[in-house]
Structure 1
Amino acid sequence: MDIGPLLSFLAVDLLLVCVPGADWAYVIAAGVRGRSVGRAVAGLVAGYALHTVLAVAGLAVLVAGSPRLLTALTVAGAAYLVWLGWGVLRRPATPEADGGARGSLFLRGAAISGLNPKGLLLYLSVLPQFLVTRGSHPPVAVQTAVLGVLHMACCAAVYLAVGTLSHTLLAARPRAARAVTRTSGAAMLGIGAVLLAQHTL
């Protein structure tokens, strides 16, 4: 692939990843627990790996062409965010709190990114704009895989930094940690509620 489209995609992708959303809220909540950061970020990246596989297989195009299926996936993701956000608000994480089951942290992260409407938007409308179909370029499936891996790498780098920073700043401040975690939970709940309202009313 030409370096130009890759750099252009990387710039746009980094901008999108750096905009706080459900992924940020989850990794900040996990960051308060310290050792859970890597597991939580791995889960988030795994969710985007699933998006990449589906896009390479051409299923992303099928979803984009089916408004009902796209709406159903968005509603499912929004409902999950509401449920997870409410759970964080009820039991906010603190530095001394138990991090919970490692598998649970991974699976929750994968579910959040796998059902994240922002992720669906990236793979269905943003990523295709950087695919080159003219001339002697690699097949579209190969280009899609490369861009998907780039997105996963951006997510891993940014979310690890956010999670580690949140732990470093909040490890010795239980009250601040609880407040930040509750804010993260409220963000997840709010994002999910808005999406539910948009697609069900």
Structure 2
Amino acid sequence: MDSGTLLAFLALDLLLVCIPGADWAYAISAGLRDRSPLPAVAGLVAGYALHTALAVAGLAVLVAGSPTALTALTVVGAGYLVWLGWGVLRRPGVPAQGGERGVGVRGVSVPGAAFLRGAAISGLNPKGLLLYLSLLPQFLITDGSGGWPVPAQTAVLGALHMACCAAVYPTVGLTARAVLGARPSAARAVTRTSGAAMLGIGAFLLAQGLATL
């Protein structure tokens, strides 16, 4: 695997990470509602670490070869996004101030809860599934000419994706907090928009997945 392949994957992956989606919506919501968005972002990265570990172990290939399993995972992930988005819409909250504890999607949020929600979002995110099952394999050199074993190549590409997420998502959450922190009404509106985005994405994917079962 040469540097050109790595740079090509990094450029494409960074572009995909910068496209708003469920991860962005959660980062914005955490930035506005929690004391710090970092536990939520750490959870998002951890979810992709799980994807990477499964891909290295070869399980991603098995899932990709089973349309039923892939659809079932998509439905579960979409259902979770619908539930989470509805919770944000019901309790949009306001930016956490000073020493206050942030308020999460269901009452008081603690770092551990924010981490677990983030891991669940990215772990079940259909966009993440497509990345690891469709995009990443296109950059693997499987004929032996790459010099690296396929599991090692997979681990490096997965680590690059996690690095992109770790760079972009804190910026998203902290920017939302800095811009809207002193504007509770605007922050509430943006949080509701984030919740609506999660709900809308989840509902679309859920309907699409259920139609194919």
What is the TM-score of this pair, normalised by structure 1?
0.97
The structure 2 residue matched to 1:123, chosen from 114, 128, 132, is 132
Report the Cα distance in structure 2 between the residues aligned to 1:126 and 1:3, rounded to whole angstroms: 18
Task: Say whether 1:142 aligns with 2:152.
Answer: yes
Gaps of 5+ in 2: 103-108
Q: Is the CA contact 2:2–2:146 (under 8 Å) kept in the aligned structure 1?
A: no
Task: Say whether 1:101 aligns with 2:110.
Answer: yes
Report the Cα distance in structure 1 between the residues aligned to 2:206 and 2:155, rounded to whole angstroms: 31
Q: Is the CA contact 1:14–1:154 (under 8 Å) kept in the aligned structure 2?
A: yes
The structure 2 residue matched to 1:187, chosen from 197, 200, 208, is 197
Task: Say whether 1:62 aligns with 2:62.
Answer: yes
Matches within 5 A, 1:1-201: 1-33=1-33, 35-96=35-96, 98-99=101-102, 100-134=109-143, 135-201=145-211
Percent identical among aligned pairs is 75
Q: Is the CA contact 2:34–2:101 (under 8 Å) kept in the aligned structure 1?
A: no
User: What is the count of residue pairs matched by the alignment?
Assistant: 201
Helix, strand or coil at the partner of 2:137:
helix
Helix, strand or coil at the partner of 1:92:
coil
Q: CA deviation at 1:91?
A: 0.2
Q: Is the CA contact 1:45–1:155 (under 8 Å) kept in the aligned structure 2?
A: yes
Could you list the per-position Cα deviations for residues 107-158 of structure 1 after superposition, in whole angstroms to 9, with x for gaps in the alignment?
Answer: 0000000000000000001001111124251000000000000000000101
Gaps of 5+ in 1: none
Q: Is the CA contact 1:27–1:40 (under 8 Å) kept in the aligned structure 2?
A: yes
* CA root-mean-square deviation: 1.1
Q: CA deviation at 1:103?
A: 0.8
Report the Cα distance in structure 2 between the residues aligned to 1:147 and 1:115, rounded to whole angstroms: 19
Report the Cα distance in structure 2 between the residues aligned to 1:54 and 1:136, rounded to whole angstroms: 21
Helix, strand or coil at the partner of 1:84:
helix
The answer to which of 89-98 and 74-83 deviates more is: 89-98
Could you list the per-position Cα deviations for residues 19-56 of structure 1 after superposition, in whole angstroms to 9, with x for gaps in the alignment?
Answer: 10000000000001353311000000000000000000
Counterpart of 1:171 in structure 2: which amino acid? G
Q: CA deviation at 1:76?
A: 0.3
Report the Cα distance in structure 1 between the residues aligned to 2:192 and 2:67, rounded to whole angstroms: 34
What is the TM-score of this pair, normalised by structure 2?
0.92
Q: Is the CA contact 1:34–1:167 (under 8 Å) kept in the aligned structure 2?
A: no
Report the Cα distance in structure 2 between the residues aligned to 1:119 and 1:136, rounded to whole angstroms: 25
Q: Is the CA contact 1:34–1:164 (under 8 Å) kept in the aligned structure 2?
A: no
